[in-house]
Chains A and B, each alone.
Chain A
Amino acid sequence: AQTVTQSQPEMSVQEAETVTLSCTYDTSESDYYLFWYKQPPSRQMILVIRQEAYKQQNATENRFSVNFQKAAKSFSLKISDSQLGDAAMYFCAYRTRTYNTDKLIFGTGTRLQVFP
């Protein structure tokens, strides 16, 4: 079975600085999706970024980028020029492409604090 591990329960960063959130996963599949979701205090889940495993190029969305290391089964999220609005829970998630399901497997989350 697939598992997703986020080893950092909490992280903090100063405004305008860069922070990296870690995520590792375990799977025997070769084709899958990986996601980072943000959950602000409103608790609305927001998709931050998505990576398809067959793509070697790391995904980027404005200030958010990932470092996808398929062999190491690592998928970290880098937030550049951090803003106060980035403060939230961040969840890493895995989704298979092998089977006909959209089911997500979530990590335990990392709480990011941003200090002015």
Chain B
Amino acid sequence: GAVVSQHPSWVICKSGTSVKIECRSLDFQATTMFWYRQFPKQSLMLMATSNEGSKATYEQGVEKDKFLINHASLTLSTLTVTSAHPEDSSFYICSASGSVHEQFFGPGTRLTVL
């Protein structure tokens, strides 16, 4: 149980385009979802926390207009990287928590912006 999926697992896009990453909790209701960014050989950096049906809470230094987060249902959250640039290239990980208050992590999405 407690499986979280992410789609796509990897994506390559041109500079200036927008990319959407989906995060789904497959077998539980996720009241809260978290989005992280991870640079090579570094720790996970929390970008934002989203609760179902409400606006996401962004961490200090994270551009809200650049990284749009939508948590429309108890099983789906999306991260849209708008007008992506090469510096946005990174590994993005989502996690979800529900009634047991434990974070379950997705497998991550590698974004490469050319």
A-side interface residues toward B, CB under 8 Å? 42-47, 50, 91, 101-104, 106-109, 111
Q: How many A-B pairs fall under 8 Å by CB?
A: 39
A91 to B42 Cα, complex, angstroms = 10
- Closest-by-CB residue of A relative to B59 is A103
Chain B neighbourhood of A111, CB < 8 A: 41
B-side interface residues toward A, CB under 8 Å? 32, 34, 38, 41-44, 46, 49, 91, 93, 95, 97, 101-103, 105, 107-108
Chain B neighbourhood of A101, CB < 8 A: 49
Chain A neighbourhood of B95, CB < 8 A: 45
A111 to B44 Cα, complex, angstroms = 14
List, sorted by A's number, 25 A–B pairs whose CB atoms are closer than 8 Å: A43-B38, A43-B91, A43-B93, A44-B107, A44-B108, A45-B44, A45-B93, A45-B95, A45-B105, A46-B105, A47-B102, A50-B102, A91-B43, A102-B101, A102-B103, A103-B34, A103-B46, A103-B49, A104-B103, A106-B43, A107-B43, A108-B42, A109-B42, A109-B43, A111-B41
CB pair B107 A43 closer than 8 Å: yes
CB pair A44 B44 closer than 8 Å: no
A109 to B39 Cα, complex, angstroms = 12
The listed residue with most B CB atoms (<10 A of its CB), out of A102, A104, A106, A107, is A102
- Closest-by-CB residue of B relative to A4 is B43
Chain B neighbourhood of A50, CB < 8 A: 102
A109 to B36 Cα, complex, angstroms = 15
| Pairs of residues from A and B, 5 with the lowest C-beta to C-beta distance, nearest first | A45-B105, A102-B97, A106-B43, A108-B43, A43-B108
